[in-house]
Structure 1
Amino acid sequence: METAGTSLAVTSARIDIGFALKHGWRLFLKDIVPLLLGTLIATALSIVTLGILAGPLYAGLYGMMVTRIRDGREPAVGDVFSCMDRFWSFFGGSIVLALAIGFAWITVIGGILLTTIWLYVFPLMVDRRMGFWDALGVSYHTVKDGGFWEHLVLVVVFILVGSIGSAAAGVAFLLTTPFTVATLGVAYYTVQGRGADVERA
């Protein structure tokens, strides 16, 4: 069951980029085995299915961070399949995001802006089981209230890290993707005022 409503949007702290990168790296190393194997599975199955499974499988990677930070438990490789019960939500959401952001990238700046304001769409859908359209609005307000420019800088960092992975391909991509997922998970809980949960994770 998906929850609806922007009443679930609670931003009680501004993002701290240094904190996000520091603890994103720490959690990446802490859960490196399930994150790497999960990324390998998600990437391989996404390629084999021509992208059909990409949305729910990559959402499952965010689910690993929910397990680690919110629930305080060690994630398992099988968590990559944890969002398959909402296949259509993540499949449809990934298509809408890919098309909208993809077209916006024609201007480059537009792509960066949309990526920034919709940064938390999948984390919100996974953590709070929000519907896709609700998550779009809540993500925008979360980014705006939690420090738009700081989030934009974080997105630029993600783009640079991702470009390194794409340029080097193979092993580098398998490293940069889970690091980005872990860092985004830290940023997501930080802007909710749950930095203490991050530090305990």
Structure 2
Amino acid sequence: MYKIIGADGKEYGPVTADEIRKWIQEGRAVATTKAQAVGTSEWRELREFPEFAANFTGGTVPLVGAGSVPPASGGVPPLGAGAGPVAVVVNPEQEAEAIIARGVNFSIGDCLSSGWKLVMADFWPVVGVTALIFLIMSATNAAYVGLLINGPLLGGLYYYFLKKVRGQAPTLNDAFAGFSMAFLQLFLLYLVSGIFIFFGLLLCLIPGIYLGVCYYFTYPLLVDRKMDFWPTMEISRRVVNKMWWQVFAFALVMGLVNIAGVLALCVGIFITFPVTLAATVYAYEAIFNGRQVTA
């Protein structure tokens, strides 16, 4: 029997190992979720338990995808339970090392295929929400308001897709959750990472490209782990640095897909953009949460 700390910071249990495996499969518990075996005093991450390690090393637990039934109520809260100001304190170096030590293997094709299936399974809501955020960002950029709200908008959009990928039932409000759950941190993430990438591109082009790839997963990482912007940037940079070329190839393919969408009379972008967003979240889950993604 085990106790587990949910997304809201509260303890749940005691529960059986099978129940925890079910939560892992549903996306309600991840590799870094803290758990305690009943009768012991030590809290450890789930991936540190031999009985759960196989659930995060691939092969046994497929990622919950399109058409999945939302997790039942009770037990460990699903993504978003108790959402509020970002407050989780982590050591970026230790967290990144733990993720790297687990090992990561993801397929660009599987992530893209899974993203396509997810969008096609719930086409109009997903495309509609994505288009709305996209249009708001385009309009506010023209008025220079984008500097203030683009970070929270991107965070909310990734939050929406995280819930979707994990088989939950996101609403339109979830796409704007960045304003309530982490406005300041998402604003700072957008501002600081943008400054770093801009000056990197200005100085020699290559440093800007390097940092742009390293920070590719910062938005889903921040809204998922509820961290401050700087630890988020550091964890993403350290982890991606170990597999930079693979993530670069992934980002390049996503960019080419979106360019193809623009070339399709500009209308195709309203389909390719949500598909590549979903694919990015699938890749994030594989890299940072140890989940297997299969097409």
The answer to whether the superposition gives a TM-score over 0.5 is yes
Task: Give the paired residue count.
Answer: 196
| Structure 1 residue 173, shift from structure 2 partner | 2.7
Q: Bigger CA drift: 124-133 or 5-14?
A: 5-14
Which one has a larger percent strand, Structure 1 or Structure 2?
2
CA shift for structure 1 position 165? 4.1
Matched ranges for 1:21-40 at <5 A: 21-40=112-131
2:135 maps to 44
Distance (Å, rounded) in 2 between the aligned partners of 1:166 and 1:2: 39
Deviates further, 177-186 or 156-165: 156-165
1:93 aligns with 2:189: yes
Shift of 1:73: 1.0
Give the alignment's TM-score, normalised by structure 1: 0.84
Q: Is the 8 A contact 2:165 2:278 kept in 1?
A: no
Q: Which shifted more, 43-52 or 58-67?
A: 43-52
* Partner of residue 129, structure 1: 226
The match for 1:156 is 252
Match of 1:142 in 2: 239
Q: Which residue is equivalent to 1:176?
A: 272
> Contact 1:61–1:80 at 8 Å: present in 2 too?
yes
Q: Deviation of residue 170 (structure 1)?
A: 4.4
Determine the C-alpha separation between the residues in 2 that align with 1:166 and 1:27: 21
Q: Please state how far the C-alpha of 1:110 moved relative to its aligned partner.
A: 3.2
Q: What residue number does 2:89 align with?
A: 4
Whichever residue aligns with residue 220 of structure 2, its letter is P
Identity of aligned residues (%): 30
Give me the whole-angstrom Cα distance separating, in 2, the residues matched to 1:25 and 1:164: 15
**C-alpha separation in 1, matches of 2:205 and 2:263:** 19
Alignment-derived partner of residue 81 in structure 1: 176
Deviations 1:127-164 (A, max 9, x none): 1111110011111222234x322111001112222333
Offset of 1:44 from its aligned partner? 2.7
Secondary structure of the 1:184 match is helix
Structure number with the bigger relative contact order (C-alpha 8 A, sep ≥ 6) is 1
Change (3 A) 1:15 1:78: same
Q: Who is 1:58 aligned against?
A: 154
**Residues 115 and 155 of structure 1 are in contact (CA less than 8 Å); yes or no, is this contact kept in structure 2?**
no
Contact persistence 1:31–1:75 (CA under 8 A): no
1:121–1:136: 8 Å Cα contact kept in structure 2? yes
Q: Distance in 2 between matches of 1:132 and 1:31?
A: 31
Please report how far the alpha carbon of residue 60 of structure 1 lies from its aligned counterpart in structure 2 after TM superposition.
1.2
* Cα distance change of structure 1 residues 152 and 73 upon mapping to structure 2, 3 Å threshold: same
Pick the structure with more helix per residue: 1
One-letter code of the match for 1:77? L
Amino acid at match of 1:81: F
Q: Which runs of 5+ in 2 are unaligned?
A: 1-85
Separation in structure 2 between the aligned mates of residue 73 and residue 123 of structure 1, nearest angstrom: 16
Deviations 1:59-89 (A, max 9, x none): 111112221234x213222211111112121
For the residue of structure 2 that corresponds to 1:193, the secondary structure is coil
CA contact (8 A) 2:88 2:228 kept: yes
Q: Return 5+ residue gaps in structure 1 as ranges.
A: none
Calculate the aligned-residue CA RMSD, in Å: 2.4
The answer to whether the 8 Å contact 1:21/1:183 transfers is yes
The answer for the alignment partner of 1:117 in structure 2 is 214
CA distance in 2, matches of 1:112, 1:15: 21
State the TM-score, normalized to the length of structure 2.
0.59
Which 4+ residue blocks in structure 1 deviate beyond 6 angstroms? none
Indicate the structure (1 or 2) with the bigger Cα radius of gyration: 2
- The C-alpha deviation readout for 1:75-126, integer Å capped at 9, x for no partner, is 2222111111121211221122223223333444333321211111111101
